[in-house]
Amino acid sequence: MTEENIQGEVATETFGRYEARARLGEGSMGRVYRAFDPLAQREVCVKTPRPEIVNEEGGADYVRRFEREARAAALLSHPHIVTVHDVGENYFVMELLTGVTLQRILAERGSLGLDEALPILEPLADALDHAHSKGIVHRDVKPANIMILTDGRPKIMDFGVAHFESSIVTAKGEFLGSPSYMAPEQIAHGEATPRTDLFSLGVVAYEMLTGHRPFTGDSVTGVIYRVVNEEPMAPSQANAALTARFDEVFRRALSKDPAARFSTARGFVDALAGKRTAESGSFPAMVATMAPSPNVLPPEIETHDLVESPARRSAVGRTLLSPGFGVAAVLGLALIGAAWAASVTRKPPMATMAIETQPSGANVLIDGAPVGVSPVFRQDMTPGPHTVKVVRDGFESAEVGFELVAGAEAVPVRFKLQPIAAFLSVSSQPVGSAVSIDDLLVGNTPLTSLPVGPGSHSVRVEREGFKPWSRAIEAAAGEEASLDAVLEPAAKGEASQGRPGGWVGEGDLVEMGPGVKVPQRIEGSPAAYPRVAARLKLHGAVGVEMIVTEKGEVIEPRVVESAGELLDQAVIDAIASWKFEPAQKDGVKVRVRYRYRQEFKPNP
């Protein structure tokens, strides 16, 4: 479909009569080849699903999406939409374009003047209106899907998520489209209509004229929150060369209410050009005004496809090819619909909150009622105290209380979920034998409910005068494995390993219990109540298990009772500097597992 001075690997595949000559690109779903058509004696572009994707679980969904793209593109015949020449079994053939993407141009130029932008936007508007007249919505209009040919003509590429039925989340939890350019109703409800594409075209035009996207952030969730909830900076604020007239045009183009937007792409571009048409000549009252500057949500995760930065601007220019299957942003966002109000009319502000987990996909309960799968965004919360609990298989559950204030900025409540430990109990005959797990000495038998990571482990039990005993185990999260080692005496003269029974060496990891002197903290204080937690009035208890070494130092802290990442991290940071009078057994300094629990309560 496109060729931008890319030298891909030489290919030997054939697709029907088409001979692949080089691989131009590969996305998460498929591959794009430069190929030769011996019948027409011309070079073409062939797109095909990746075989390994087709054959894996959920592959049928990819095939259906691929077939949907082929059908959508084949229905369209327009000078500014990439032409489909042929459709075969598991492949289709398009014209091979030579040029650069609008994404690359913007990465190098930053912004364009109106006289440069309009010759690109006007043909694109006509192309989108043509697709809409055929009942097809592109759903992923963005600069990476717009090719500027060597003669200056723009073409829309990649109808890979073109809309025939309403769904933006696949069976595998993949999020189709690019959130920075998606309309609020598309994010919230999966609705895709012509006015969804017009919102995306408005975002593209805003970026072309100002050099900035209207909705940016340091995280996927931050971008989505802003698209759904916030108004962008007025373009006249972002670019002093733009007058207040452009503020009015973009206020309409980027309205949260689809009905308030332009009804055609051409109507929007005519308004940008200052043409007085039936549609562009009047601007109905908007439901909200554009903010003088955007609000920035707290950073969360690095998302190269979304973050607007100088580094991204330089790197994005290398993304020369968008082969259709790569336009789906795999974000695993299963519930976003609650973020958009049922009515776009602004109402008195309710309390807003965002709940995120790492990893995502945890079941979220607010005040005991399930509300969806993380990340969850809520605008319908009543002000006042609430509790949130997150639960995911294989991880410790977490719970925290907080208080919401009407109209306050939403600060995400984050949880870093801890894997559920497996447990191991080891007994032996004779007792007092040394136990090593994965070649690390952990104590003497009997050992009960020793936490270990889920998965495979090797266990070795030794005692002087006896043959060593070993087993491989598979520890399941949340379950306890029990081993009973019966050691055989070593034959006379046969070498044996291990320690004399009952002997404890300095630095051995032993279990707390009778005969063990408990470690005493001699330096360090409990965690301070974080300021951000105070603002949210977070409250809950954090439990941490750690190892106190024979030198009185804290190592391997592990959260076993979570009250959210903010309070958890406060405790972890505090205990890192603690010093103890070490535990002792039989007068020897030893290592022990030690538990600490701190409860946080806001000041009255």
**Residues noted as catalytic:** 140
The two structure tokens encoding residue 196: 């969804």
What angle in degrees, to the nearest 10, is found between the helix axes of 265-273 and 114-133?
A: 160
Burial class (CB in 10 A: 0-12, 13-18, 19+), 83: middle
- With b meaning 16 or more CB within 10 Å and e meaning fewer, what string describes 240-259? eebeeebbbbbbbbbbbbbe
The Cα–Cα gap between 67 and 64 comes to 5
The two structure tokens encoding residue 163: 């809309």
The two structure tokens encoding residue 354: 């965002």
The Cα–Cα gap between 84 and 170 comes to 25
List the beta strands (DSSP E) in 50-121.
Answer: 84-88, 91-95, 97-101
Q: Quick one: how far is CA 533 from the chain centroid?
A: 24
As a whole number of Å, the CA-based R_g of the chain is 31
Q: Are 474 and 455 in contact (CB under 8 A)?
A: yes
Q: Are 530 and 586 in contact (CB under 8 A)?
A: no
Phi then psi for residue 592, to 5 deg, are: -140, 155
Please, what is the Cα angle at 54 between 52 and 57, to 5 degrees? 90
Per-residue H/E/C for 189-241: HCCCCHHHHHHHHHHHHHHHHHCCCCCCCCCHHHHHHHHHHCCCECHHHHCCC
- Give the three-state DSSP class for 599: strand
Q: Tally Cβ neighbours within 10 Å of residue 79.
A: 11
DSSP 128: H
Alpha carbon separation from 270 to 121, 123, 245, 249 (Å, rounded): 10, 12, 13, 10
CA neighbours within 13 Å on the CB side: how many for 489? 3
The Cα–Cα gap between 287 and 252 comes to 10
Q: Where are the alpha helices (DSSP H) in 93-213?
A: 102-109, 114-133, 184-189, 194-210
Tokens 């994010």 belong to: 187
